[in-house]
Amino acid sequence: MNDCIFCKIAAGTIPARKLFEDEAILAFHDATPQAPVHFLLIPRKHIPNILELGPEDEGLLERLLNKARELAVEQGCGEGGARFVINCKADGGQSVDHLHVHVLGGRALGWPPG
Ligand code: 5GP
Ligand code: ZN
C-alpha cells in the first residue's frame, strides 16, 4: 500500500525509532507518546485492521502479542504493568489503517476510555 505510513516505516522509507524487527513484524516507538512507554507493533503485511485478518494470517496476532509482552518487560513495565491496545476502525478510534498493537506503560492509565 503506497500511501500507508506504517508500510513506509516497515519498508524503511520513513524513519522510526525501532525496538525490534524480523521478517514478519516490526516494533517502534510511537511518534506522539501518551505515556512514558508507548510503542507500536505492526505486521509487515498491510492488513487494515484486526477485523480483516484472514485464515492466511494465522499465528500473526500471537506473534505480535508475544513480542509486545517481551518488549513491555524490556521497557521496564514488568513490575507496574502496561496496557495492550488494538484500536479498530472509526468507533475504536483507529487513525492509521494498518493493524497495530499499542503498548502503553510507565504510569497509571485511566479506565474506561472516554
Ligand atoms: P491509532 O489511533 O490508529 O490506534 O494509532 C496510531 C498511532 O500511530 C498514534 O498513536 C500515532 O501517534 C502513531 N503514529 C502516527 N504516525 C506515526 C509515524 O509516522 N511514526 C510513528 N512512530 N508513529 C506514528
Ligand atoms: Zn500499511
Query: What are the tens digits of pLDDT across the range 11-34?
Result: 999 999 999 999 999 999 999 999
Q: Respond yes or no: is residue 38 known to be catalytic.
A: no
Cell numbers representing residue 48 in the block: 487494515
- The number of the ligand nearest the C-alpha atom of 7 reads 2
Measured in angstroms, how far is the CA atom of residue 7 from the centroid of ligand 2?
Answer: 4
Measured in angstroms, how far is the CA atom of residue 22 from the centroid of ligand 2?
Answer: 16
Ligand 1 contacts (CB < 6 A) are: 5, 14, 16, 28-32, 40, 87, 93-96
Looking at the domain 5-105, which fold is it? HIT family, subunit A (3.30.428)
Query: What are the tens digits of pLDDT across the range 87-109?
Result: 999 999 999 999 999 999 999 99
Helices (H), 1-114: 5-11, 60-72, 89-92
Domains in the chain: boundaries: 5-105
